[in-house]
Amino acid sequence: MKALLYQGAEDIRYEDFADPDLKADTDVLVKMTACGICGSDLHIYQGHGFTEDLGYCVGHEAIGEVAEVGKGVNRYKPGDQVMLSAAVGCGNCRSCLAGNLSQCTSPGGIGCYGLSHSLEGCQAEGIVVPMGDFNLAHIPEGITPDQALLLTDNLPTAHLACKNADISPGKIVAVIGLGPIGLMAVEIAFAMGATQVYAIDLVEHRRTQAAALGAIPVAPDVARQKIEEDTKGLMLPCVVECVGADVTIDMAIKLAGRWGTVSAIGVNQNMNFNFPMALAFYKGLTFRIGTCSVQSHWEELIALIRGGRLHPEAFITNRMSLSEGAEAYRLFNDKIDNTLKVVMTP
């Protein structure tokens, strides 16, 4: 089959790759019909991945059609239209059964596609899904393929970010970083009852998109001053950080007010980040960070999409073929032509 393989920094190649096969009775083989590039994939693309491996298949967002099932699979059959969860759990331990994949107690714990050879990625013509009965879902009635694709990771991650920020009716919120997840977080914040959302990003076009959702667009260099003036120095009760850079995490902490909450969902790989403990102590700050248990968010998000409250498909800007994967990564990484969400098909 064909797949996108990581061969080094800024070196994603469309190449032949070993055909996937079932390794366990609980595996499901899915023929990919659409896949996406996530912001976290750019860490790998930029050469700051999670392993020293080369030549592995990347990507963790996909929908598709069931091609083959192991004899231990009960919920799926060939021909079913399914969406994958980017987060992979064992499906058997107490934590997984409670929806807390990040606390999976099985050897190896939570997994994710496309970070190394240990679980090959989804930007491929075929994908093996371990524990298919647990890590797959039928595409629900009333949900389009585009919406289903964004339910595999981006939308649940944005939802986790907002829940972790303690957003509730009447709250004022800041969202830092307006990539696809950040823009979805803006929309979710309003759906959760936020009365105002400050949308902060370096890129003017992304701020304009956030403004179209009802947010207050703010450039990073004036964000602290504006929010301080608007709130008469009280700052904000809820801040969502969607970048993962040292500077944006630092900004998030400074924008939070007394007893405020900061939710960091961006991936920061700096093991030496100087967390401002004294400032956090003074503010009585709550700071949350962590990975998303994708499946646990599906029920609530599907209801919000069906009810017309969320429109994640609106942030898809580019549709390309898998064979154009190298160019797709370049466009997304370099923010060329206002690229946001890239969807690829075989």
Between 109 and 329, the more confident residue is: 329
pLDDT category of residue 49 using cuts at 50, 70 and 90: confident
pLDDT for 106: 82
CA distance 27 to 133: 8
- pLDDT, tens digit, for every residue of 154-206? 999 999 999 999 999 999 999 999 999 999 999 999 999 999 999 999 999 99
Q: Residues 284-299, buried b or exposed e (16+ Cβ, 10 A)?
A: ebbbebeebbbbbbbe
Instruction: From 180, 147, 175, select the one nearest 341 (Cα to Cα).
Output: 180
When pLDDT is averaged across residues 306-310 and rounded to a whole number, the result is 97
Per residue in 216-247, pLDDT tens?
Answer: 999 999 999 999 999 999 999 999 999 999 99
pLDDT value of residue 231: 98
Segment 141-153 mean pLDDT: 97
How do 216-218 and 256-264 pair as beta strands?
Answer: unpaired
pLDDT at 101 over 90: no
**% residues pLDDT > 90 (the chain):** 88
Separation of CA 335 from chain center: 18
Read off the pLDDT band of 110 (50, 70, 90): low
Q: Are 174 and 198 in contact (CB under 8 A)?
A: yes
Paired strand residues for 217:
199
For 55, residues 6+ apart whose C-beta sits below 8 A from its C-beta are: 5, 6, 7, 117
The pTM of the full predicted model, rounded to 2 decimals, is 0.95
Number of CB atoms found within 10 A of residue 142's CB: 9
The pLDDT of 91-105, averaged and rounded, is 84
pLDDT in tens, 75-92: 999 999 999 999 899 888
Q: What structural domains and CATH numbers belong to the chain?
A: 2-153+293-345 (3.90.180.10), 156-289 (3.40.50.720)
DSSP, collapsed to helix, strand or coil, labels residue 241 as strand
Residues recorded for the chain: 346
The answer on pLDDT for 102 being more than 80 is no
- pLDDT of 107 > 80? The answer is no
Please answer whether residues 65 and 79 qualify as being in contact, where contact means their C-beta atoms are separated by less than 8 angstroms. Answer: yes
Is 211's pLDDT higher than 90? yes
What was the pLDDT predicted at 87?
87
Are 59 and 164 contacting, i.e. CB atoms less than 8 angstroms apart?
Answer: no
State the pLDDT at residue 108: 62
**How many whole angstroms separate alpha carbon 4 and alpha carbon 325?**
7
Mean pLDDT rounded to a whole number for the chain: 95
Q: CB burial class (10 A; 0-12, 13-18, 19+) of residue 178?
A: buried
Least confident of 34-48, 96-110, 238-252: 96-110
Decide: helix, strand or coil at residue 319: strand
End-to-end CA distance of the chain: 10
